[in-house]
Amino acid sequence: MRIIFLGAPGTGKGTQALYFSKMYSIPQISTGEILRDAVKKGTELGKKAKSIMDAGDLVPDDIILQLIRDRLSQQDCKNGYILDGFPRTISQAEGLERILKDNAIEAVIYFDIDQNAVVSRLTSRRVCSKCGYNHNLITDPPEADNICRRCGGKVIQRDDDKEETVRNRLQVYEKNTAPLVDYYEKKGNLYKIDANGAIDDVRAEIHNVLKNIRD
């Protein structure tokens, strides 16, 4: 199963990708997560990416494509994967096609959401620094003292979830990533789901799409 989760930041892609990757035993490949890891470890990639990420801008396509090429060549990707937060530009989508050759993407799940909801979702998001689980201060808060509800790790706010950066990330999304909706619609593998609802409702919609594709 080769799937893309496409949508603006804060639409719940990461949360759903985590769930479905476990369900289908395929990796969730989040370019954002790989980059954050590189920043944490202080690698060359991390040093290049940090200021770009802090501003909410996009890391250059050639760097991202190299990173994806390496990741998809790993053994755990042979039965499929969920791409979460990639591709983010038309040029990345074209690069992905060159990498995959005949192993085309089966489904692009497009998380459609009311943009106004996204700012509050992102600024109230709190992430576990250990397991990556996304909490929300309003709908799904961490335990007291910012302890993760899943694993007991320390829960933090991502630097790029501060309001100013969030607004820039949404503009960057509109300009660079939103055109991918049209791009995949034309290819005929885009499935639009309503991402405004509760986590369980969105999950059920994705279930239906993936079930139909598999049948």
Q: Enumerate binding residues for ligand AMP (CB under 6 A).
A: 9, 30-32, 35, 52-53, 56-59, 64, 85-86, 88, 92, 160, 169
Token pair of 141 as six digits: 């808060």
Q: Which of 36, 50, 125, 126 is catalytic?
A: 125
Tell me whether the omega of the peptide bond preceding residue 27 falls within 30 degrees of 0, making it cis.
no
Q: Which of 13, 121, 126, 203 is catalytic?
A: 13
158 is catalytic: yes
Q: Which of 36, 50, 126, 158 is catalytic?
A: 158
Question: For residues 73 and 212, which CB has a smaller minimum distance to ligand AMP in the complex?
Answer: 73
Query: Least distance from C-beta 12 to ligand AMP, angstroms?
Result: 12
Instruction: Name every residue whose Cβ is closer than 8 Å to that of residue 211 and which is 6 or more positions away in sequence.
Output: none
Question: For residues 143 and 159, which CB has a smaller minimum distance to ligand AMP in the complex?
Answer: 159
Query: Least distance from C-beta 207 to ligand AMP, angstroms?
Result: 23
Output the DSSP codes for 12-31.
SHHHHHHHHHHHHT--EEEH
Closest by CA position to 31, among listed 53, 1, 16, 2: 53
**CB-based closest residue to ligand AMP:** 32
Terminus-to-terminus CA distance in the chain, angstroms? 12
CA–CA separation, 21 and 16 (whole Å) = 8
Query: Least distance from C-beta 57 to ligand AMP, angstroms?
Result: 6
Query: Least distance from C-beta 141 to ligand AMP, angstroms?
Result: 21
169 is catalytic: yes
CA–CA separation, 57 and 169 (whole Å) = 7
CA–CA separation, 84 and 32 (whole Å) = 8
214 is catalytic: no
Q: Which of 2, 50, 88, 126 is catalytic?
A: 88
Question: For residues 167 and 213, which CB has a smaller minimum distance to ligand AMP in the complex?
Answer: 167
Q: What is the residue whose two structure tokens read 């994705």? A: 206
Catalytically annotated residues: 13, 88, 125, 158, 169
